[in-house]
């Protein structure tokens, strides 16, 4: 289904995003019905591999497309407008490619970039259930001669079922943080489709089981939290969620407009001869258009802030740390505003029609469910408090942890 909206993106007109519009069109076909059936979109990731867009952030000199972060978040929003599960499930892939772009060059990074340029998709997992606090890692990597073994269970393994390789956060036998990069189809790796959230139901965000999985020495790298690159990619992961919400609101606007034009009827007491001429319906569509534009603008400006911090990190610029802090603040502020606008749009959508608009055949309720799930990833009240504390007292404690900002 073509999305009829005035989204402000250049799509295939820009070389880094060539093929994006056609990819989104194909991914979006029958998306609402697939969501109702809870049918995982494996086909969409085959299309994504073939598109070459997975290497969007890899420099041209290394075989990639050399796109900016503004390009990246336009890609996320465009895919999310077609099928938000697909856009969301690519979150870790683009987190990893950003890290590879900024980390010092090594045999490890060269290998991963070569895989990405060849079309590979990355997933992975960090979180575990049953720990005392969210984010704690207890799954242990154990040495066995010249290699390692790992057993354990991870959760929130978003997108890993669709991926080729996984980055998994562990601890070693000395309790130091490490990451492993392994093929998803390696013996002992099992991905369960047991994510039971009310929204983003086809992101494969459930359990990743590791049963005596062999890990080679060259597949293990240290995990050092709190560095500038980690702080930058922390904000990038948060804006990925917001850009996904941005695309959902584009879809809300398109769905509302299409419903009015194709199915809408004026209510009994309306003097208008058609729904499209009803002043109240026009007001609803106008509000949705304004909300969508506001969200697009916020995401685009936030992406530009992240571009500045990324470029500064790549150049080892003296102001890199200040720019990373600035982009973290921008991302937190953007999340706070977009959450309010997007959830309001998902509710306001139903004012464009009557009770028939709630029909399961339309599946319009998925928009609110998906948005509410996206904005439940991190406590927005905490973000608001942290931003307020910064503006009042200059406190940066949580902003420089490299966790969720």
What does the pLDDT average to over 104-118? 97
Q: What is the pLDDT of residue 309?
A: 98
pLDDT tens sequence across 250-277: 999 999 999 999 999 988 888 999 989 9
| 8 vs 50, higher pLDDT | 50
- Residue 10, pLDDT above cutoff 50: no
% the chain with pLDDT above 90: 90
% the chain with pLDDT above 70: 97
Token pair 């956060």 is found at: 169
Helix (H) or strand (E) run with residue 86 in it: helix 84-89
Alpha-carbon distance 331 to 390, whole Å? 14
Token pair 């942890």 is found at: 401
Q: What is the pLDDT of residue 13?
A: 44
Distances (CA, A) of 388 to 216, 324, 339, 395, 398: 46, 18, 17, 9, 12
- Residue 228, pLDDT above cutoff 90: yes
- Residue 6, pLDDT above cutoff 90: no
- Residue 242, pLDDT above cutoff 90: yes
Distance linking the first and last C-alpha atoms of the chain: 35
What does the pLDDT average to over 277-290? 96
Alpha-carbon distance 343 to 172, whole Å? 42
- Residue 57, pLDDT above cutoff 70: yes
Q: What is the pLDDT of residue 56?
A: 98
- Residue 8, pLDDT above cutoff 80: no
What backbone torsions phi and psi does residue 41 show, to the nearest 5 degrees?
A: -85, 60
Do residues 390 and 336 lie in contact, with contact meaning Cβ atoms separated by under 8 Å?
no
CATH superfamily of 16-121: Acyl-CoA dehydrogenase/oxidase, N-terminal domain (1.10.540.10)
Tokens of 30: 């029958």
> What's the whole-number average pLDDT of the chain?
94
Fold classification of 228-401 (topology level): Butyryl-CoA Dehydrogenase, subunit A; domain 3 (1.20.140)
- Count CA atoms closer than 13 A to 97's CA, side-chain side: 31
pLDDT tens sequence across 11-53: 444 699 999 999 999 999 999 999 999 999 999 999 999 999 9
Q: What is the pLDDT of residue 16?
A: 97
Domain ranges of the chain: 16-121, 125-222, 228-401
Q: What is the pLDDT of residue 14?
A: 66
Local structure of residue 133 (DSSP, 8 states): S
Q: Is 177 strand, coil or helix?
A: strand
Shortest CA distance to 5 belongs to which of 219, 258, 215, 226?
Answer: 258
Q: Which pLDDT band, with edges at 50, 70 and 90, does 7 fall under?
A: very low
Q: Is 121 strand, coil or helix?
A: coil
Alpha-carbon distance 359 to 361, whole Å? 5
CATH superfamily of 125-222: Butyryl-CoA Dehydrogenase, subunit A, domain 2 (2.40.110.10)
pLDDT tens sequence across 158-171: 999 999 999 999 99
What does the pLDDT average to over 181-205? 97
What is the CB neighbour count within 10 angstroms for residue 229?
A: 21
Q: What is the pLDDT of residue 3?
A: 41
- Residue 9, pLDDT above cutoff 70: no
Do residues 205 and 197 lie in contact, with contact meaning Cβ atoms separated by under 8 Å?
yes
- Residue 287, pLDDT above cutoff 50: yes
Q: Is 362 strand, coil or helix?
A: coil
Q: Is 125 strand, coil or helix?
A: strand
Shortest CA distance to 330 belongs to which of 225, 228, 238?
Answer: 238
Q: Does pTM surpass 0.85?
A: yes
């Amino acid at each position: 289904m073509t999305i009829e909206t005035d989204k402000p993106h250049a799509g295939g007109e820009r070389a880094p995003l060539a093929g994006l519009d056609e990819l989104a069109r194909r991914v979006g076909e029958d998306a609402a019905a697939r969501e109702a059936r809870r049918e995982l979109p494996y086909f969409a990731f085959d299309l994504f591999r073939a598109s070459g867009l997975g290497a969007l952030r890899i420099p041209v000199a290394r075989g990639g497309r050399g796109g900016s972060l503004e390009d990246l978040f336009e890609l996320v929003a465009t895919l999310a407008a077609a099928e938000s599960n697909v856009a969301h499930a690519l979150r870790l892939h683009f987190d990893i490619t950003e890290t590879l772009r900024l980390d010092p060059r090594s045999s490890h990074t060269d290998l991963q970039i070569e895989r990405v340029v060849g079309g590979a998709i990355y997933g992975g997992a960090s979180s575990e259930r049953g720990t005392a606090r969210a984010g704690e890692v207890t799954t242990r990597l154990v040495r066995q001669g010249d290699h390692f073994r790992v057993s354990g269970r991870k959760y929130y393994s978003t997108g890993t079922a669709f991926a080729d390789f996984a980055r998994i956060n562990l601890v070693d036998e000395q309790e130091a943080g490490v990451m492993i990069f392994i093929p998803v189809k390696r013996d002992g790796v099992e991905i369960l489709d047991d994510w039971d959230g009310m929204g983003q139901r086809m992101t494969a965000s459930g359990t990743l089981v590791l049963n005596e999985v062999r890990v080679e020495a060259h597949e293990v790298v240290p995990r050092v939290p709190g560095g500038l690159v980690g702080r930058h990619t922390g904000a990038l992961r948060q804006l990925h969620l917001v850009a996904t919400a941005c695309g959902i609101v584009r879809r809300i606007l398109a769905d509302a407009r299409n419903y009015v034009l194709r199915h809408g009827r004026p209510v009994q007491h309306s003097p208008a001869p058609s729904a499209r001429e009803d002043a109240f319906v026009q007001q609803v569509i106008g509000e949705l258009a304004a909300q969508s534009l506001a969200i697009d603008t916020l995401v685009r400006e936030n992406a530009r802030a992240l571009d500045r911090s990324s470029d500064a990190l790549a150049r080892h610029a003296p102001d890199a740390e200040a720019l990373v802090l600035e982009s973290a603040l921008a991302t937190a502020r953007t999340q706070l505003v977009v959450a309010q606008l997007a959830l309001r749009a998902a509710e306001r959508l139903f004012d464009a029609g009557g009770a028939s608009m709630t029909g399961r055949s339309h599946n319009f309720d998925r928009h609110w469910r998906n948005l509410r799930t996206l904005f439940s990833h991190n406590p927005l009240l905490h973000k608001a408090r942290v931003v307020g504390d910064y503006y009042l007292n200059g406190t940066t404690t949580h902003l420089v942890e490299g966790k969720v900002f």
